[in-house]
Structure 1
């Protein structure tokens, strides 16, 4: 059986975006094995395919630092792969893929579109046009390796997972809300987010997702509104995926939970801050009606960066220009469609 290594070490959202591609590969090439090489915490994303396995990297110990890269190469070489797909294209994977190339393995790397990203995010002479979605850049890597997959034709969604770990769910529509992101420039103002929660919790079950210090705020909101739960406080990642796959709607920032929901065919409304759908990081099979962005007539420098980590003076309240009423109306439309 031929084997292909798939390298992607972080972050959660980027790793989740690999899933539709691996589904296509596993379905179209059942006699080949595909090995995800990543961190253990991402493993639950890839369960369910017979010919897809997972190699856990150990960047805290064995694979730590520069020498650890060589140990990782040695460990991966024991798998006897035929091809290597670098879907990360960072220093660590560049060293790894160079070592594989020197040993005459077939290797292809992700095109990160650095020039195009710079043109899109620069302040002067901005070229405001959409970049190729990352899902299709991932697809491109495998097609260059000799596979023939088409996300638009070959992908099929799995059935939602059983809700074994959530006994408190009822028959009301289930709405997930992930109000936080890694960078503050992508976080919707919390007072406006509470308005979304207050409105949607009247007729729906609302589930709040976050981690770390975010849980303090989420638990406070949970106690303030009826029909609101915070599964992140009492569930592991695998259980959260189980719940997300059963949602009727996910409202997310430009962050991981939206990507996870989309790979289970859950409608996703994305609230964009200092980033924008044109960066290529929209959720899988997203539609324009579900993208809520900052008003560029007032804030023309959007997107200011790819990851939302670049602060621009005068843009602190840019997300307040997003149409809240339009967002709630769109949420109602989606929920009415799913319940009918």
Structure 2
């Protein structure tokens, strides 16, 4: 059977879909993966896949573009649509291939951000990874709960920099302010007092959003490729991160992660699964206030982060070591 998996973006979401790639391969199916050009690097040397089909985002703007791209997928017996948006729906329709789409619980997740409606929403046990894996039930694949996100890396991905021993990785950044924990400087200082080295990972944009000055750490933000960052994460004792791609990258290289939630919510489904780590969440009545952490705090104080003291972060981290 020829199977294709579709997930165009974003980085963290694509990484989480690799649980499906792992499950398919474990059941003797080498799927093809369909994504945007800038994310195909995730699947270099990935023996689990038949091939990676990538496309530039600006080549999928019009219906004509989508139809032309869909023609490349007409020989697949099954498409697993793990993006479940209008674009991926049209591609699967125009391809003519049988398609199974994952249930992203979009309406329920949005209702969680509405104080009046949230009491009617039950997403306590919702996991995005589990929802991705549910698409495989039609293939009679059993024991789906054992599959976790996994990215294949090797020594070829080792960056040209000296990586310290006994280090904890820190992901200080996120796309929006509502996801960015503001007390990493204090957390890092506490961890250093306990004898840990610190490596900070992320993008150049993360530096621009961060007003802190960190001393005696290895700051690799904006200096590594995605695969080099994955390699570094694979060597960490633990990762501490916001609700962002760094957390999911850590999960995918089998390094436990402590996630810190602010404007978003674990019930959106992106929390670490069993044996992947844990999370901190203030559980205030105003949480979650936004699906992506984009909105400014209406109280202007980000109490969701204020409630999570640096000492608590370190104590929780030690529980995972």
TM-score in terms of structure 1 length: 0.84
Structure 1 contact 174–207 (Cα < 8 Å) conserved: yes
Sort the Cα spacing of 1:59 and 1:320 in 2 relative to 1 into closer, same or farther, 3 A. Answer: same
Mapped to 2, the partners of 1:234 and 1:333 lie a distance apart of 31
Q: What is aligned with 1:338?
A: none
Aligned equivalents of 1:233 and 1:49: distance in 2? 25
Aligned to 1:238: 227
Whether the 8 Å CA contact 2:130–2:145 is kept in 1: the answer is: no
- Number of residue pairs matched? 315
Does the alignment pair 1:38 with 2:35? Answer: yes
> Residue deviations 1:46-99, cap 9 Å, x none?
345424021111223x4443321112112233xx21101111111111111222
1:249 to 229, 232, 238: 238
1:126 to 101, 118, 126: 118
Distance 2:117 2:223 in 1: 48
Structure 1 Cα separation of the partners of residues 262 and 211 of structure 2: 24
Q: Is the contact between residue 201 and residue 225 of structure 1 (CA under 8 Å) also seen in structure 2?
A: no
Q: TM-score, normalised by structure 2?
A: 0.88
Relative to structure 1, the CA distance from residue 157 to residue 71 in structure 2 (aligned partners, 3 Å threshold; closer, same or farther) is: closer
2:203 is aligned to 211
CA contact (8 A) 1:232 1:240 kept: no
Instruction: Indicate whether 1:94 and 2:82 are aligned.
Output: no
- Once residues 209 and 177 of structure 2 are traced to their aligned partners in structure 1, the CA distance between those partners, rounded to angstroms, is 15
1:272 aligns with 2:261: yes
3-state SS of paired residue (2:204)? coil
- Call closer, same or farther: CA 1:119–1:155 in 2, change over 3 Å: closer
* Distance in 1 of aligned mates of 2:86 and 2:73: 17
Alpha-carbon distance change, 86 to 76 in structure 1, aligned in 2, over 3 angstroms? same
Q: Take 1:69 and 1:272, find their aligned partners in 2: how far apart are those partners?
A: 36
Aligned residue in 2 for 1:290: 278
Larger mean CA deviation between 39-48 and 252-261 belongs to 39-48
Deviations along 1:91-131, one digit per CA (max 9) or x if unpaired, are: 1111112223xx3x211111121332234221114226415
Segments of structure 2 that go 5 or more residues without pairing to the other structure are: none
What is the match of residue 5 of structure 1? 4
Residue aligning to 1:307: 292
1:104-143 to 2 correspondences below 5 Å:
105-127=97-119, 129=122, 130-143=124-137
Structure 1 gap ranges (5+): 336-340
Contact 2:15 2:149 in 1 (8 A): no
Three-state SS of the structure 2 residue aligned to 1:329 is helix
The reply to whether residue 73 of structure 1 matches residue 70 of structure 2 is yes
Q: 2:141 aligns with which of 127, 148, 154?
A: 148
